[in-house]
Amino acid sequence: MRNLWIFLSRYNAFFFFIVFFAIGIILTVRNNAYQRSVTLNSTNAVVGSA
């Protein structure tokens, strides 16, 4: 448990970056019709090819 806290305290800037980056992507896709359609088409292509 102590090692987990040390790990999180050492790399907290990276985790904050990942969280804020994900929030930015989500807000962009939700609020822009073009970005939403591009994301939907890309995910359909990936799932369809699998």
What's the full length of the chain, in residues?
50
pLDDT at 50: 76
CA distance 35 to 27: 10
pLDDT at 21: 98
Mean pLDDT by runs of 10 across the 50 residues of the chain is 94 97 97 95 92
pLDDT at 46: 94
CA distance 7 to 10: 5
Please report, as a single letter, which amino acid is at residue 10. Answer: R
